[in-house]
């Protein structure tokens, strides 16, 4: 077994913790699929993404005013489609082939989510018209997170870091004390 010094161990542990706590695509704008010129557009619900069937496909779509968007369930999990502004909302569905539709009449950007999987990143955007834009499907970064979401994220980071901190403590303690095992009363020592 290769021996490493304390500084190398701590450097690696801190780097791994930083990498693990960084969201993969934080604050990135989704690719907008141009579906202008069509009267109806299909968006799949429950496609692979965010670590399982927790995505819309495509995540962001551009349409003309008057276009009907039909969300079609893949059959992978229970999901819904809920506009963040409250303008439309489907039931919780899971059956493959189930659909929900909404016709977008006004120019603008309509963000929507799957309510139970929003914190996992199951978000989408319908951009209506040429002049409307999209910055991020989830509204963008920590500023758009509620206190509960921030608490969950902080707890996750703490859960990742605590075993590393404990391992560093044990590593440092073992090096300082010559790595001898403590005596246990009633048990023979090796």
pLDDT in tens, 140-149: 443 344 555 5
Two tokens at 56?
């819309």
> Sign of the CA dihedral 105, 110, 115, 120?
positive
Residue 35: count other Cβ atoms within 10 Å of its Cβ: 19
pLDDT reading at 110 higher than 80: yes
The angle formed by the CA atoms of residues 101, 104 and 108, to the nearest 5 degrees, is 135
**Average of per-residue pLDDT across 7-18:** 55
pLDDT in tens, 70-99: 999 999 999 999 999 999 999 999 999 999
Residue with tokens 């496609």: 47
Q: Where are the alpha helices (DSSP H) in the chain?
A: 6-21, 147-176
Question: What does pTM read for this prediction?
Answer: 0.58
**Average of per-residue pLDDT across 143-161:** 63
Q: Please give the Cα distance from 136 to 79 (Å, whole number).
A: 21
């Amino acid at each position: 077994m290769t021996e490493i010094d304390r500084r190398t161990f701590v450097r690696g542990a801190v780097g791994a913790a930083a990498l693990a706590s960084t969201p993969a695509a934080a604050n990135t704008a989704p690719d907008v699929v141009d579906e202008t010129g069509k009267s109806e557009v299909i968006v799949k619900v429950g496609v692979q993404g965010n670590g399982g069937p927790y995505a819309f496909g495509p995540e962001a779509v551009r349409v003309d005013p008057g276009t009907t968007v039909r969300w079609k369930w893949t059959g992978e999990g229970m999901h819904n489609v809920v506009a963040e502004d409250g303008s439309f909302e489907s039931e919780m569905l899971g059956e493959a082939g189930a659909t929900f539709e909404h016709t977008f009449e006004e120019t603008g950007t309509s963000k929507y989510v799957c309510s139970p999987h929003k914190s996992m990143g199951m978000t989408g955007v319908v951009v209506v018209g040429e002049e409307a834009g999209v910055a991020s499907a989830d509204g963008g970064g920590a500023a758009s997170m509620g206190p509960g979401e921030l608490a969950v994220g902080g707890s996750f980071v703490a859960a990742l870091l605590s075993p590393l901190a404990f391992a560093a403590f044990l590593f440092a303690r073992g090096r300082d004390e010559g790595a001898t095992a403590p005596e246990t009363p009633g048990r023979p020592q090796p």
